[in-house]
Amino acid sequence: MNDTQWQALRAVIRGEKVTPLPVAFIIDSPWLPNWAGMTILDYYTSEERWLAANLKAIEDFPECIFLPGFWSEYGMCTEPSAFGAKCLFYDNEFPFAEKLIESADDIERLAKPDPRRDGLLPFVIKRLKHSLPRIEAAGHSVRFAVSRGPLNIASFLMGTTDFLMEMKVNPDKIHRLLRLITDFTADWLAYQRECFPTIDGVLLLDDIVGFIGEEDYREFAQPYLRELFTGLGVSVRFFHNDSPCRASAPHLHDTGINLYNMGIDVTLKDLQSWTDGKVVLMGNVPPRDVLAAGTPADVERAVEEQLRSLLDTRRILFSCGGGMPPNAPTENIRALVSTVMRDAA
């Protein structure tokens, strides 16, 4: 993200009117590799190809804010690998981390990983360090420390069904697991900032938050998320959860979140009400059915419909619901950008 985009993002978070209305997308390995003409495994294993794909995105769409920007990641394997999870990689499919906790009793044997040496985390850092001169030469900086959230990591270590069941059956053990993961994640975020002093934002991604009710959110999610969002003292505190959010949305601001990327099960207008207008909302054109599978005209209609529904476009970043979907074509992305810039100017 360049300085102009960073300042525009911070202005939106402050509630200022930014013209034209910014367009932003989360971009990572589900979309970037194939769009840039390579396989997913090529993207993960070649620093040069990873960098080329990210540079192509900022060159082809200079009007877009890409978040977190030059995301160094290995899909869902990144954080679970540090705990020792077996990671399965395929040439052109998403990687997967196998669970390593077979019962709640196994939680006691887990130790906190060291982000400087464990799993894929040192490779994440080295890729960014090796690429940093060319990133900066393109006018961009590393702005975000990034991690999957505590419930998301726990669901990979245990399996989603077992994790959610044990939340009710063995809440004390689940708190022990979430405490361990949160402490590790805090170390991981702090290490990223230590390596890249330009970081002034945190991005956490945790779709499991949408699988629990309000009471469980306040007990099992909010305290740990709040620690992570507020621990570094950064100005942009960005949360991605594109599963249902009715239970958590009223508490996002109190969790320390000031930027939220949602799914398509809720309207921007409803979220403005549920968050009392205190959180920047990033979304929510349907990613699969419209942005990826629709026509440019479909995208244009979806954007126009959302714009008509909003009385106030402050604290709005137009995007798709969730991250950029696989197979989203260039012409549809351009249609979203041009419609927002035309109609929201």
What confidence tens digit (pLDDT) does each residue in 310-328 have? 999 999 999 999 999 999 9
Q: Give the E-state strand segments of the chain in sequence order.
A: 23-26, 64-67, 87-88, 96-97, 144-148, 201-205, 236-240, 259-261, 280-285, 316-320
- Residue 320 — left, alpha, or beta (φ > 0 → left; ψ -120 to 50 → alpha)? beta
Which residue in this structure is represented by tokens 């970037």? 32
List, for residues 221-257, the tens digit of each pLDDT value. 999 999 999 999 999 999 999 999 999 999 999 999 9
pLDDT band at 343 (very low <50, low <70, confident <90, very high): confident
pLDDT digit string, tens, across residues 120-135: 999 999 999 999 999 9
Give residue 115's pLDDT.
Answer: 98
Residue 130: Cβ within 10 Å count: 12
CATH number at residue 290: 3.20.20.210
Q: For the whole model, what pTM was predicted?
A: 0.97
Is the pLDDT at 344 greater than 70? The verdict is no
Structure tokens at 313: 């476009």
Residue ranges making up the domain that contains 11: 3-343
Strand 64-67 relative to strand 96-97: parallel, antiparallel, unpaired? unpaired
pLDDT of residue 265: 93
Q: How many CB atoms lie within 10 A of CB 122?
A: 15
The answer on pLDDT for 20 being more than 80 is yes
Dump pLDDT digits (tens) for 158-196. Answer: 999 999 999 999 999 999 999 999 999 999 999 999 999
Whether cis (ω within 30° of 0) applies to the bond prior to 286 is no
What pLDDT, on the 0 to 100 scale, is given for residue 345?
A: 58
pLDDT at 220: 98
Whether the CA torsion 331, 337, 343, 345 is positive or negative: it is negative
Whole-angstrom Cα distance, residue 341 to residue 345? 6
Residue 310, both tokens? 């909003």
Q: Reduce the DSSP state of residue 234 to 3 states and report it.
A: coil
Q: How many domains does the chain have?
A: 1
Helix, strand, or coil (residue 209): helix
